[in-house]
Structure 1
């Protein structure tokens, strides 16, 4: 396990094991088993002091994060190549010195924004990305992982380091400071695992075998192509493509990959079960190093049938949540890979095409439009995806956007759906906890709302509840029910935070995530104790009206 700081000099590193060809004495100059240097390491951490070299008020501190990461990667590569290892980088500010720098020292030079990246006016960005790509390639070749803990009020370069972290399967934590609960609780959770392996595995190889009816376009997720090109590889590349095998330096039980396939079989049969040729299969092989040093192989084989029909098309196997997660990964990838890409327009076209093909309607009659229950929630997912932090980068820094997309690309479907469409639970005197629509109409004076958007957890008190809480009724005799009502959402929020990594932050905002069905120019005012949203964005109802009109044309 390697420890690294974002200061000019790296701290002592610790790692277990050695390799033939390098003497133990040579390795011991830099790396030692934790049991032999635990006291010294703890002493160094306890004795850390603020950098004594003064920094001018108009200058940024000197940091050579890129050089430190290069040294750490080279040390691991020389001492323990091919064996499981991690570099944990704790970055407290932007790199301003040496390779991988993202900004100059003078504070008069603003750090790059999304607008700067779009205009190409961030002179250090492309050079830094290329440098960290080389670091990532080196770590992948060695089988090592880069973890990133970015804790600063300003940006530290997560957008530039994203390629190295994601391709090695590393974890990333973003917080305002090293004293923030998000950082402290997340770091503590890594080392509080009941198992000695910290829940982490290493040196994985993921391989796909499939029938000739389909081809592999690529994978979007925490892995790197091994460039094993063959007849299974599609000419169209999405993500890590041109291969049927991928390297996963770091993986755990929750690691999720999005595999994109291309149909090579154009003449699917018109009926199910006509012949054995109607079947096609996938085989997924995961070969990885367990924490005890054993190499393990997990094989999963599934088969499916081609389905085609005249008239009504069957959609019995459509998974709306998985489709929403895939669309989110695809549109995020395209926003980073394609110049002048319009994500909202691309999503709208895809949704209109889907509804036009699978919807039930009479031509040129929007009121007749309806969707199968297996498709009915998908437009709502796309509506919220269009408004999510993955698409609307305004008011988010490049570092924050990179963090959001890295988490989306590694989490499973259930967590991805919460990122796209947050869950909203209502607590009131009239009923127990119940899910409600993600709409501004859910706000009421006598209701408490719990919003879970994966990255943040929000507890919102209605105006009446807030007044009673401010008056201290929950501490008075005879108001035990009110005290229990206040406690219930807090307990649920604590349970969500306890199970999630990185630890979500408890925020205050709620209205930004709700459907703006009641705005400042609505004909109907909000109900008593309710609220309205000051926005010009279209509501979900207006969105569906436009969708129905375009789908039936």
Structure 2
């Protein structure tokens, strides 16, 4: 029998699933006592090179309310050619194509190593991918030029059959016709008036795809002759030229004013255009924004520069006059896009806020990307945008379209289904389960609870695919088997699942309330039956919660509303490893004393003769200690006799490059030193074990003191212990 950590690692590797508890309590009361809910982190498209897609369709349970997929946990009667569904216990006949099965000749979906399996749906037409670019033209020439080059580059990465469209906007919104040779023609819309899909359809002269569309290959071609969405292979040159000729918005902007930017209407037209031409087909609306919407539906700030865009302070005081209306506008767009399986990406590049707070639902509801940078002319934007089009070994994009997720579990009639729309191999969802059995009628011992995740999506090759993951865990009575339940606890998964709940609350509740809730949960966890009685505090949990309380996901101090929305968006979509790094950054030390080593995220790690490399996910920072910085200034690295110092300086740079090359979105790279202004990024993350309040340690080689009134981890732990043993908490 493998140990629990090995078992957890195997399951994550094979199925992309991590549960907070790997043995489940058998009644509702026991489950609530455990504090951390029974929950899972699930990565639907976890990369599995050893998982070739199967060229036939899944066998489903015949009960209409179940429809679970045949899997290795089902009981099979090979002689009678029957299988019993492990969710509703219905006995099902195998289809005729399975006539040859026996104990020695089993189909892949019954083999234990295929608890995750991917099927290719053979029926129905293959649909092309659709990419609709929505481009802001109210920006500086240099920025617009860089963006145009990135867009032209992206055309060369698209499959030739992909359909592309272009909408540009400033004060007016232009929908460009791409079918006409040698002449650029566009439909111009006022940026102050919203249009519904029906009005848009009439104005653009689009006929609705007929009801028969999708029944046969010939009807699938009907909507493809659309003038606004054309195959790349047909209009590659035209569109490259058209992009090259894009100019800044021609409307004059008087001094002291912002340009009039009709972002809300442009996005509405993009959603409407796809809604009436490609409903329920994989499509991406890629929105590029160089500043906030200043007119029409969805505006987030007026055009007077002297009135700044809303801050957290304004929001608390209910002084953000455009916020509610704009949020409502973008939420309705997000819901419309999501209903049709369309993805909305937002690339916001500006020095000030652009309204991500109001627009976050567009990316969050549709599985779209959200990227934030200072300018379109930075490598952070250019590299990140290029990575959107990364391909796998088969040459297909690492992105899925029009995805839905269905979860089937024991004991519930029916299923739970969500439209996710956009997925990639790192998209990770959190699912929280409820044990509904009452305390006086617990689930019988020795049984196993099963869960099946069914992810249907449009692969970037145009195929429909269904990926099925079936997993099971043992039920246990918390009265008699508390030891085995406690041993099954997955600390890392539980920490991220609790953090996601906290971030979810932070979106709707006051900051201090969320922190109080988190502290109460931590105290209950420390006291509760979930951990071995008398085992004391688990160090790593409290460390983690300490850093979570200080993280930008819960603390809005020092971050704009847009930045908080961006950080929370990334935290809610990344996998467990990346999420852990976001909350508790990784710190490595480089010195002459030996190879690089991980060190504590603590001010005591900041020593004069050390270089530190910190990875916070959003930033990669190299910090040179005081002595190292002085040597570097003196130019020792250029002298032949100090070759080893040159290598020492280079080592963290090489390691940082490796991280910068693989991460999405690309992190900000910071090179700083003792006393440098950007050292604040490091000082704000480490545990302030030494501050100006405990000066006695100064002057010794024991790390850098930090000027802060934040409590240190030690004070936090002591306070927690006191509360955990007092009866008042």
Q: Taking structure 1 as the reference length, what is the TM-score of the superposition?
A: 0.87
1:320 aligns with 2:464: no
Partner residue in 2 for 1:482: 645
Q: Deviations over 1:162-191 (max 9, x none)?
A: 112111110111001111221111012223
Partner residue in 2 for 1:370: 536
- When structure 1 is superposed on structure 2, of 541-550 and 313-322 the one drifting more is 313-322
Q: Out of 609, 620, 626, which is 1:446 matched to?
A: 609
Secondary structure of the residue aligned to 2:243 is: helix
Q: Out of 446, 449, 462, which is 1:293 matched to?
A: 462
CA drift of 1:340 comes to: 7.4
CA distance in 2, matches of 1:61, 1:453: 35
Secondary structure of the residue aligned to 1:478 is: helix
Partner residue in 2 for 1:90: 288
CA drift of 1:125 comes to: 0.7
Q: 1:196 to 1:156 in 2, by over 3 A?
A: farther
Secondary structure of the residue aligned to 2:714 is: helix
CA drift of 1:495 comes to: 0.7
1:540 aligns with 2:713: yes
CA drift of 1:200 comes to: 0.8
Partner residue in 2 for 1:99: 297
Q: Deviations over 1:92-135 (max 9, x none)?
A: 00001111110111112221111222222111111111111111
Partner residue in 2 for 1:365: none
Secondary structure of the residue aligned to 2:421 is: strand
CA distance in 2, matches of 1:350, 1:438: 24
Judge conservation of contact 1:518–1:524 (CA < 8 Å) in 2.
Answer: no
Judge conservation of contact 2:178–2:238 (CA < 8 Å) in 1.
Answer: no
CA distance in 2, matches of 1:529, 1:327: 34
Q: Out of 502, 515, 519, which is 2:665 matched to?
A: 502
CA drift of 1:426 comes to: 0.6
CA distance in 1, matches of 2:222, 2:516: 59
CA distance in 2, matches of 1:382, 1:285: 33
1:188 aligns with 2:357: no
Judge conservation of contact 2:637–2:643 (CA < 8 Å) in 1.
Answer: yes
- When structure 1 is superposed on structure 2, of 86-95 and 54-63 the one drifting more is 54-63
Judge conservation of contact 2:390–2:398 (CA < 8 Å) in 1.
Answer: no
Q: 1:340 to 1:409 in 2, by over 3 A?
A: closer
Q: Deviations over 1:398-449 (max 9, x none)?
A: 1111111111111111100001100001111001111000000001111010
1:549 aligns with 2:718: no
CA drift of 1:5 comes to: 1.1
1:335 aligns with 2:499: no
Partner residue in 2 for 1:5: 135
Secondary structure of the residue aligned to 2:696 is: coil
Q: Deviations over 1:350-387 (max 9, x none)?
A: 0000001256676xxxxxx624xxx4311111000000
CA drift of 1:53 comes to: 2.7
CA distance in 2, matches of 1:512, 1:393: 14
CA distance in 2, matches of 1:207, 1:153: 41
Q: Out of 254, 257, 269, which is 2:429 matched to?
A: 257
Structure 2 gaps, min length 5:
1-130, 137-168, 180-206, 214-220, 671-677
CA distance in 1, matches of 2:242, 2:175: 8
The root-mean-square deviation of aligned C-alpha atoms, in Å, is 2.5
Q: Out of 60, 79, 103, which is 2:277 matched to?
A: 79
Judge conservation of contact 2:312–2:561 (CA < 8 Å) in 1.
Answer: yes
Partner residue in 2 for 1:200: 399
Q: Out of 119, 122, 129, which is 2:320 matched to?
A: 122
Q: Out of 697, 713, 729, which is 1:525 matched to?
A: 697
Say which structure, 1 or 2, has more relative contact order (CA 8 Å, 6+ apart).
Answer: 2
Structure 1 gaps, min length 5:
216-230, 233-242, 363-368
Secondary structure of the residue aligned to 1:404 is: helix
Judge conservation of contact 1:116–1:122 (CA < 8 Å) in 2.
Answer: yes
Judge conservation of contact 1:463–1:529 (CA < 8 Å) in 2.
Answer: no
Partner residue in 1 for 2:332: 134
Based on CA coordinates, which of the two structures has the bigger radius of gyration?
A: 2
Q: Out of 134, 139, 147, which is 2:345 matched to?
A: 147
CA drift of 1:13 comes to: 7.9
Q: Out of 467, 473, 476, which is 1:304 matched to?
A: 473
Q: 1:337 to 1:473 in 2, by over 3 A?
A: same
Partner residue in 1 for 2:68: none
Judge conservation of contact 2:209–2:223 (CA < 8 Å) in 1.
Answer: no
Q: 1:319 to 1:59 in 2, by over 3 A?
A: same
CA distance in 2, matches of 1:281, 1:268: 22
What is the number of equivalent residue pairs in this alignment?
512
Q: Taking structure 2 as the reference length, what is the TM-score of the superposition?
A: 0.67
CA distance in 1, matches of 2:441, 2:656: 50
Judge conservation of contact 1:464–1:529 (CA < 8 Å) in 2.
Answer: no
CA distance in 2, matches of 1:114, 1:460: 31
CA distance in 1, matches of 2:444, 2:227: 69
Judge conservation of contact 1:4–1:11 (CA < 8 Å) in 2.
Answer: no
